[in-house]
Structure 1
Amino acid sequence: MKKKLLFVINTMGRAGAETALIELLKKLDALKAYELSLYAIIPCGELFTRVPENVRIINKGVNNGSLNSFRGRITIAREILFSFFYRLTGLKAIGYMIKNIREQKASGRKLQYDKLLWRLLADGRPVSEEEYDLAVAYIEGAAVYYLADKVNAKHKAAFIHIDYQKAGYTPLMDKDCYSGMDNIFVVSKEVGEKFCCVYPQYREKVRLFRNLLDQQNIREKAVDGTGFTDGFPGIRFVTVGRLHYQKGYDIAIEVLAKLREEGHNVRWYIIGEGAERRNLEMLTKKYGVEEYFILMGAKDNPYPYINQADIYVHATRFEGKSIAIEEAQILGKTIVASDCTGNREQIESGYDGILVELSVEKLVYELKRILKEPELQKEYAKHVLEKQLDYPEDLEFMLAIMNEEKRR
């Protein structure tokens, strides 16, 4: 009999964790040894169209459009309302909300109401009637809350893709959802350390599981399609990532303005969509770079654009482990990235790329320096192709959990 595996995710929008999950499902599907199921807390997102045919989607109906579209926002609102009224979940959650808002204010952190809604969304779901051999929460927040409380499985595991401290999660918010996990998989060593700063009691459960990528497919797609058609004769920077404060685009706009003021003929292309679009459009007008800081929206195939870029830039405030950086490495690009969690494990600064402090002054300095040294760009691009990006032992360990006699 095939063993039953369930993966739980918050949404299926076009983002790093969701992309990595698709590759994991493809790997497992190819083994022909498992009965695979997928459940999304909010059944919306473009990546539903990429789920392997043999994976059963438990949600009764899914919206495979963008989360940022009108239909996407309606889907999100519908799911929140359903959860609020399901067995009075919303009323029961009021005390939880108040306590966490107070904790956020006391800590001086930015209020993150979306994080609090993850608990409401998870609690406002019926208990799963099936039993699984292994159930995996592939992202933080609602997915792991739902897995902990609503899923019946012989073994459970959770994934951490972010700097847990900077992302704003707390034990009060989580309500000890990790206690019942056999293993907690982290996408980088530093992500594991950051998680253990919040949960030192679970250090023995933490295990490295690096992103899965189809390198051949990425290389093939990079030459499939036209890519840029604007005829721009200057230097092209490319960044891939949703339009979110975390990604540091506000800083990037100011950096671009300074580079152009100093005579550098540069355009910066952003591939991704998100709630910050309007704010970023206003900033480009403020700095006079609306013709040079190009918000391209999401792309089904971003690889021709990455491939045709002169420099791939990833200047984010924090990360877990960037799939976009790994994709740029597969394509042999010169990479400039911020010196933060996740990025530090992906780039050896001065050998296969540049890590730089996330400030306007430092980014301008390093980008100017590499623009003036084309031979250095070639050297970084050569070294980046030497990087190891496949780790089959990570998947083997995860599957071996099911062979344990009982959950730890």
Structure 2
Amino acid sequence: MKKIFIYAYNLELGGIERSLIGLLEAANPNKYEIDLFLAKHEGELMGDIPEHINLLPVEKRYQAFGIPLTSAIKQGYLFESFARFIAKPIEKLLRIVKKDKALSVEAFIYHKMIIKKMKAQEKKYDLAVSFNMPYYYVLDKVTATKKVGLIHTDYSTVHIGTKAIINMFERIDQIQCVSQEVREKLISSLPVDEKKVGVAENILSVNSVKKAALENVDDMPNDSKYILLSVGRFGTAKNFENIPDITRRLVEYDLDVKWYLIGFGGLESKIREEIEKNNMQNRVIILGKRENPYKYMNACTLYVQPSRFEGKAVTVREAQALNKPVCITAFPTANAQLENGVDGIIVPLDNEGCAKGIAELLKDTEKLEFLSNNCKTRDYSNASAVKDILDI
């Protein structure tokens, strides 16, 4: 029996988290003994952890992360509050020094500081997997014969301090990227040893998705000819703040559309601001968090992923598994996501090009049906990818 340790941040609704659940469900309990360590025991997917997975106790120091700084201080997280207090100014200073306004190192600084104060895991493992970046907990607090770090996004588009990330990559035994394109982008953008960089695609529990999709939807009325849906965190990568403008352009194409958004995140106020600015209050509807996004996918006309960058979006494959037509923007790794014109379409990333591409597709009922039928013939589970992580 192979002893495996898996680290992840939490189990909130997100593509990375759902792919983790897919991995845990696909892992043979007669072959793998898995201990799951979550930084925070929270999220709508906590109840989806399979019974054969051993959930380890939470680490107290992690609980200061993600709550207001004043609350962390009141709860006695003094060192953790100090780490958070100085991480942001350091990031701002480095942005000035390096002349890079998009530089993102706050999480790296904070994690590195607090993990030094944490207690190490006593058990020895055959394999330790860090499902999230940064990899510091697995590197510094877990004893394992081999250590693996996963990459879920296109790091050629993410501004992280090169020195910090290269040092982390040098210390990890193996890096597994979510697609071949993400692997190539990583190797071309950072001085990393390509011999230790492989591919492990996200694993999807198709049966669970299809079962959940059968539930009734009562808050997404079918009162427009075309119902569009996007699911994801309200952050820079997903580009949801441009949806109101794209929707306005679709209306100008004389299309009766409603675009629903499922998710949460720091840019929600910006999205609402853009809805008001474009006068799309009756066309763009924020549903917020939904524990079961699949029933909404099943009810939409078209699933749209208008991202600026992705690794390989789990939500797109979930929609395809439900035989829905999907449309994605031309982010750098888009061609790894689908076969353009066969099981989905790729449209330009700019708002006008995106709106034009969506409009042309919506007006072509035969094309919509063609995309849907092709999805029915494909396997989007990637269940065989278990070996690409757990058999390293």
TM over 0.5: yes
**Given the two structures, how large is their TM-score scaled by the length of structure 1?**
0.85
Alpha-carbon distance in structure 1 between the residues aligned to 2:241 and 2:87: 35
Match among 85, 108, 128 for residue 79 of structure 2: 85
* Residues 1:36 and 2:2 aligned together: no
C-alpha RMSD of the superposition: 3.0
Q: CA, structure 1 residues 382+95, in 2 after alignment: closer, same or farther (shift >3 Å)?
A: closer
Q: For residue 347 of structure 1, what is the aligned residue in structure 2? A: 338
Q: For residue 249 of structure 2, what is the aligned residue in structure 1? A: 258
Match among 95, 98, 111 for residue 106 of structure 1: 98
* Residues 1:239 and 2:237 aligned together: no
Partner SS state of residue 167, structure 1 = coil
Which whole-Å deviations, capped at 9, do the CAs of 1:116-164 have from their partners, x for residues lacking one? 43333433422222211111001222xx111112211111111000011
Q: Which has the higher helix share?
A: 1
Q: For residue 226 of structure 1, what is the aligned residue in structure 2? A: 217
| Contact 2:224-2:258 within 8 A present in 1 as well | no
| Contact 1:82-1:124 within 8 A present in 2 as well | no
Q: For residue 12 of structure 1, what is the aligned residue in structure 2? A: 11
**Letter of the aligned partner of 2:125 in structure 1?**
Y
Q: For residue 73 of structure 1, what is the aligned residue in structure 2? A: 67
- Quote how far apart the aligned CAs of 1:221 are: 1.7
Q: For residue 276 of structure 2, what is the aligned residue in structure 1? A: 285
Match among 103, 125, 129 for residue 136 of structure 1: 129
Q: CA, structure 1 residues 57+373, in 2 after alignment: closer, same or farther (shift >3 Å)?
A: same
Structure 2, unaligned runs of 5 or more = none
**Letter of the aligned partner of 2:53 in structure 1?**
V
1:297-376 aligned at under 5 Å gives the runs 297-376=288-367
Alpha-carbon distance in structure 2 between the residues aligned to 1:206 and 1:315: 28
Name whichever of 6-15 and 33-42 sits farther off. 33-42
Alpha-carbon distance in structure 2 between the residues aligned to 1:264 and 1:167: 35
Q: CA, structure 1 residues 159+84, in 2 after alignment: closer, same or farther (shift >3 Å)?
A: farther
Q: CA, structure 1 residues 165+42, in 2 after alignment: closer, same or farther (shift >3 Å)?
A: farther
Alpha-carbon distance in structure 2 between the residues aligned to 1:388 and 1:103: 44
Alpha-carbon distance in structure 2 between the residues aligned to 1:241 and 1:154: 35
Partner SS state of residue 21, structure 1 = helix
By relative contact order (CA 8 Å, sep 6+), the higher-ranking structure is 2
| Contact 1:188-1:209 within 8 A present in 2 as well | yes
| Contact 1:315-1:338 within 8 A present in 2 as well | yes
Name whichever of 333-342 and 287-296 sits farther off. 333-342
Partner SS state of residue 378, structure 2 = coil
Partner SS state of residue 176, structure 1 = helix
**Given the two structures, how large is their TM-score scaled by the length of structure 2?**
0.89
- Quote how far apart the aligned CAs of 1:340 are: 1.3
Partner SS state of residue 177, structure 1 = helix
Q: CA, structure 1 residues 83+248, in 2 after alignment: closer, same or farther (shift >3 Å)?
A: same
Q: How many residues align?
A: 388
